[in-house]
């Protein structure tokens, strides 16, 4: 009989699942056996049956689960999303597009924010970011002034926390938007745990609407997210947005895991998150920490290792750690970012500690430069609006022909995946060349850059 071809993805993930590893990456369930039992593979993967409700219905099992989640989050409404935080961001921006043609965003916004602006023909107004230790930090101090000037802005969409665990001053943002009757939306894809880990930083305390990307930091399956809304009128538009963007076949295991993540976080409470943050502090204060420079951000569930400041090449250390069973979330060439969740156990930190100490005894590769992403804090010149540029006829040009031309797309280096130059801004020679030369850039197609056609 003819043999089935080898399923490449399945083989790769099964191989990883069989290894004894410390998972400092998403999803937040960390592959614990307990969750395998709870989400029980194919048997729980069902469809809408007589008893199982319907994500699009205002009544029934799922509506009841959402009501209970809203009670837990203290919000007007809570929507389960099975298509990632990206889908929730689309729904929030859709609702915003009914209230204004511009949206104030930080340049470090996730690509889903830029895509949503493109879809709804909204213009970004950039909130300044300041560079600190090689990271771009959202600076809300000028928000009041921007809101005064930008009358067409529906409001602001902040990212909190960002991929590194930095949190902008949400209190200031909430004050300014409330005073002007504008929206405060928050991309909290990395912040679902903060309701308990650091309630004073939790998006839901400040925002009109926000997304908790529960799969990133809580025990939920990949793609599970929860969209919280604190305003009844806004909720109508958000619910409409969700009904447009989400699948009509939501995965029951993902929905169940979104609910489970929220309830689990409430159950373990502040104590559960303190336990894991204390384990991280112990590592930093101990022998490994004395040999390495860790950087702390507002979110204690993000552990950042500054490789150049520790005298090390980041890529070589990542390779070594993985060989020794320790998988981090990402490295940007300077930092290695370890994502922690309540499901990380002491053994994970022991593995990391041992590997870090052992690495110092090897002939490790030394840092060659500070390792920052190129063009951090670069401020390109705007030539035309974002909306015009993404909708204009375009050419694909080689970097030598890109200088001074207007980008027709967003380009940058990843991770993290935010643009250095956005549509409507002018390329410099150096940036065009660096983007095409880099292995880890996005926006580049076959070594060419998408630019607005001359004369348009
Ligand atoms: C800051 C931020 N926002 C939004 C998203 C999108 O989340 P998802 O992948 O769940 O759609 C991500 C994904 O990495 C992110 O880092």
Instruction: Give DSSP secondary structure letters for 349-402.
Output: HHHHHHHHHHHHTS-PPBP-S--PPTTTT--PPB-S-HHHHHHS-EEEE-GGGT
Ligand 1 centre from 129 Cα, in Å?
A: 19
pLDDT at 289: 82
In testing the pocket of ligand 1, which one of 136, 189, 221 has its CB within 8 Å of the most ligand atoms? 189
Q: In ligand 1, which atom is closest to the CA atom of 88?
A: 11
What is the model's pLDDT at position 439? 87
Residues whose CB is less than 8 angstroms from the CB of residue 253 and which lie 6 or more positions away in sequence, other chains included: 39, 44, 45, 221
* pLDDT, tens digit (0-9, with 9 covering 90-100), for 271-301: 999 999 999 999 999 988 899 999 999 999 9
Instruction: Tell me what pLDDT residue 455 has.
Output: 62
- Distance from the CA of 185 to the center of ligand 1, in angstroms? 15
86 Cα nearest atom in ligand 1: 11
Instruction: Give the integer Cα–Cα distance in Å for 33 and 45.
Output: 18
Distance from Cα 190 to the centre of ligand 1, integer Å? 8
Asked if residues 352 and 283 have their Cβ atoms less than 8 Å apart, the reply is yes
Residue 122's nearest CA partner among 88, 91, 143, 98 is 98
Atom of ligand 1 nearest to the CA of 215: 10
Atom of ligand 1 nearest to the CA of 213: 10
Separation of 92 CA from ligand 1 center, angstroms? 14
- Which residues lie with the beta carbon below 6 Å from any ligand 1 atom? 84-86, 110, 112, 159, 163, 187, 189-190, 213, 225
Mean pLDDT, residues 429-441:
93
Q: State which ligand 1 atom lies nearest to the alpha carbon of 26.
A: 14
Question: Positive or negative CA dihedral for 33, 34, 37, 38?
Answer: negative
Q: Which of 86, 107, 246 to mutate to test the pocket of ligand 1 (most atoms within 8 A of CB)?
A: 86
pLDDT at 92 over 60: yes
Residue with tokens 């538009």: 237
For the ranges 26-40, 398-412, 414-428, the lowest mean pLDDT is seen at: 26-40
Q: What band does 269 get if pLDDT is binned at 50, 70 and 90? A: very high
Q: Percent of the chain having pLDDT more than 70?
A: 99
Distance 191 CA to ligand 1 centre (A): 11
**pLDDT on residue 417:** 82
Three-state DSSP state, 75: coil
The H or E element that residue 78 is part of is: strand 77-81
Taking the centre of ligand 1 as the mean of its atom positions, its distance from the CA of residue 1, in whole angstroms, is: 44
Span from the CA of 357 to the centroid of ligand 1 (angstroms): 33
pLDDT value of residue 245 = 96
Q: Give 85 Cα–ligand 1 centroid separation in angstroms.
A: 6
Contact assessment for residue 297 and residue 166, using Cβ atoms and an 8 Å cutoff = yes
Mean pLDDT of 21-43: 90
pLDDT of amino acid 33: 86
- Determine the distance separating the centroid of ligand 1 and the alpha carbon of 287, expressed in angstroms: 34
Ligand 1 centroid from CA 162, angstroms = 10
Ligand 1 atom nearest 109 alpha carbon: 1
**Of all protein residues, whose CA lies closest to atom 10 belonging to ligand 1?**
84
- Show the CA angle centred on residue 244, arms to residues 238 and 248, nearest 5°: 115
Please determine, for residue 371, whether its predicted confidence score (pLDDT) is greater than 70.
Answer: no
pLDDT of 295 reads: 95
Residues 362-383: what's their mean pLDDT? 84
Domains and CATH numbers, the chain: 40-45+52-265 (3.40.640.10), 386-452 (3.90.100.10)
Q: Is 341 helix (H, G, I), strand (E, B) or coil?
A: coil
Candidates 84, 302, 332: which one to mutate for ligand 1, based on the most atoms within 8 Å of Cβ? 84
């Amino acid at each position: 009989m003819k043999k089935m071809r080898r399923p490449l993805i399945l083989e790769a993930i099964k191989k990883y699942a069989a290894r004894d590893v410390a998972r400092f990456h998403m999803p937040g369930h960390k592959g614990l056996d307990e969750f395998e039992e709870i989400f029980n593979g194919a048997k729980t993967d069902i469809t809408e049956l007589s008893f199982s409700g319907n994500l699009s219905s205002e009544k029934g099992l799922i509506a009841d689960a959402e009501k209970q989640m809203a009670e837990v989050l203290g919000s007007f409404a809570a929507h389960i999303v099975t298509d990632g935080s990206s889908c929730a961001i689309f729904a929030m921006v859709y609702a915003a597009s009914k209230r204004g043609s511009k949206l104030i965003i930080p340049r470090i916004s996730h690509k889903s924010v830029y895509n949503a602006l493109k879809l709804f023909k909204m213009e970004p107004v950039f909130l300044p970011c300041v560079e600190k230790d090689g990271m771009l930090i959202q600076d809300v101090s000028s928000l009041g002034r921007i809101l005064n000037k930008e009358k067409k802005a529906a409001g602001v969409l902040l990212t909190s926390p960002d991929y590194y665990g930095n949190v902008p001053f949400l209190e200031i943002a909430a004050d300014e938007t409330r005073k002007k009757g504008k929206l405060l939306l928050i991309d909290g894809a990395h912040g679902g745990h903060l309701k308990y880990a650091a309630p004073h930083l939790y998006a839901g305390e400040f925002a009109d609407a926000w997304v908790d990307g529960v799969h990133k930091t809580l025990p939920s399956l990949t793609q599970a997210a929860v969209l919280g809304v604190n305003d009844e009128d806004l909720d109508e538009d958000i619910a409409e947005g969700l009904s447009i963007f989400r699948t009509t076949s939501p995965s029951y295991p993902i929905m169940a895991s979104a609910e489970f993540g929220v309830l689990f976080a409430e159950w373990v409470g502040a104590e559960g998150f303190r336990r894991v943050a204390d384990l991280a502090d112990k590592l930093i204060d101990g022998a490994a920490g004395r040999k390495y420079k860790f950087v702390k951000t507002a979110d204690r569930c993000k552990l950042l290792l500054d490789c150049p400041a520790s005298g090390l090449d980041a890529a070589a250390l990542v390779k070594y750690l993985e060989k020794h069973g320790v998988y981090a979330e990402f490295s940007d060439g300077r930092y290695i970012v370890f994502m922690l969740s309540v499901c990380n156990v002491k053994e994970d930190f022991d593995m990391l500690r041992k590997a870090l100490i052992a690495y110092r005894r090897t002939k490790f590769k030394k840092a060659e430069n500070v390792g920052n992403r190129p063009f951090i804090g670069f401020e390109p010149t705007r030539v035309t609006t974002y909306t015009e540029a993404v909708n204009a006829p375009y050419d694909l040009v080689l970097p030598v022909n890109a200088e001074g031309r207007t980008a027709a797309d967003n380009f940058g280096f990843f991770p993290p995946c935010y643009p250095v130059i956005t549509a409507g801004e002018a390329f410099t020679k150096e940036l065009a060349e660096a983007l095409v030369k880099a292995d880890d850039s996005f926006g580049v197609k076959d070594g060419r850059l998408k630019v607005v056609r001359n004369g348009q």
